Amino acid sequence: MLGPALLAAARSDGIRRLVSAAPVTRSVVDRFVAGERLPEAVAVSAGLIGSGLTVTLDHLGEDVTDRAQALRTRDAYLELTEALTRAGFGAAAAGTDGAAELSVKLSAFGQALPGGHDLAHRNVRPVVEAAAAAGIGVTLDMEDHSTTDSTLAVHRALREEFPATGAVVQSCLLRTEEDCHALAAAGARVRLVKGAYREPAAVAHQERRAVDLSYVRCLRVLLAGGGYPMLGTHDPRLIAIARTVAERLGRKPDGYEFQMLYGIREHEQRRLAAEGHRVRVYVPYGTDWYAYFMRRLAERPANLAFFLRSLASR
């Protein structure tokens, strides 16, 4: 019951101001966010890479409301790409082997503004180009269902120039199995997640079990296909199923990867990596952490209880 309310709150400016100003919020946020500044994100990434993991960095921000803000997103990612290159985290050649990659949300590049599809494509392209030159991959995060067609179209267009550009699909959406067939046939890098947005019954499964079953169908399609599957989940059952299916299909451990969020199931991240799996940690950083943080609260009531206790103990 709380999840939908928190997801609605994630888009409320009033609640954003309240939560962001709460005196203890930062310490709770720190569990999920690597820091507010770029050097902190690079330092956290260096630690993760040093321990045998790989990373994908997200400069936090979404739903920008003007063009200048969209350009600031582009510049922040260009700066991030330079910092990662200086830190030695690029790969010799563009592809899937880099220790660091970028995750971008097209709404932060202007997708929701008038003419937003073309604007977001125009703004994100220089980032993908600079990253490719540095051997750093880029994955387009997926936002709510109203953006799916546009984001997949930008992904297709970017892949014509930069074939390693990754896409994300959400097993909660009814359309996703079909999208997986198309992306697997096209040989794309695809992150499969359950989906973090509140979606209507007309387009999405409403029961957790249905979302999980859809995840299993989709991972079978991706693992059987010609692309590079990136399985974004902390769910132990789905991870176990993915390993079994991959083995049955003859996928080697370097033919796919698991992805998890910074601060969540860290022991499992290290355990999978120690067993020879590729594990990539999604590392968000920046001052605009509110919506990301609220989605993490919505995923797990215990996180909300922890947050409320920390407020009450002041």
- Known binding-site residues for substrate equal 105, 295-296
Minimum CB separation of residue 96 from ligand FAD in Å reads: 15
Q: Which of 191, 198, 220, 278 is catalytic?
A: 191
Q: Select 92 or 302, whichever has its Cβ closest to ligand FAD.
A: 302
Q: Select 89 or 299, whichever has its Cβ closest to ligand FAD.
A: 299
Residue 301 — φ and ψ, nearest 5°? -55, -30
Minimum CB separation of residue 264 from ligand FAD in Å reads: 5
What residues are designated binding site for FAD? 142, 170, 194-196, 233-234
Contacts with ligand FAD by CB under 6 A lie at 141-142, 168, 170, 191, 193-197, 232-235, 259-261, 264-265, 282, 296, 299-300, 303
- Tokens at 106, concatenated: 């097209």
**3-state secondary structure at position 172:** coil
Give yes or no: 67 in active site: no
Q: Select 95 or 263, whichever has its Cβ closest to ligand FAD.
A: 263
Q: Using CA atoms, how far apart are residues 69 and 79, in angstroms rounded to an integer?
A: 15
Sign of CA dihedral 117, 118, 121, 124: negative
Residue, CB closest to ligand FAD:
234
Q: Using CA atoms, how far apart are residues 296 and 3, in angstroms rounded to an integer?
A: 10
Residue that is written with structure tokens 């209880």 in the block: 305
Q: Using CA atoms, how far apart are residues 284 and 193, in angstroms rounded to an integer?
A: 17
Total residues belonging to the chain: 314
Cα 237 to chain centroid distance, Å, stands at 20
Give yes or no: 58 in active site: no
Cα 82 to chain centroid distance, Å, stands at 20
Minimum CB separation of residue 212 from ligand FAD in Å reads: 7
What residues are designated binding site? 105, 142, 170, 194-196, 233-234, 295-296
Minimum CB separation of residue 274 from ligand FAD in Å reads: 19
Q: Which of 141, 144, 179, 212 is catalytic?
A: 141
**Which residues are identified as catalytic?**
141, 191
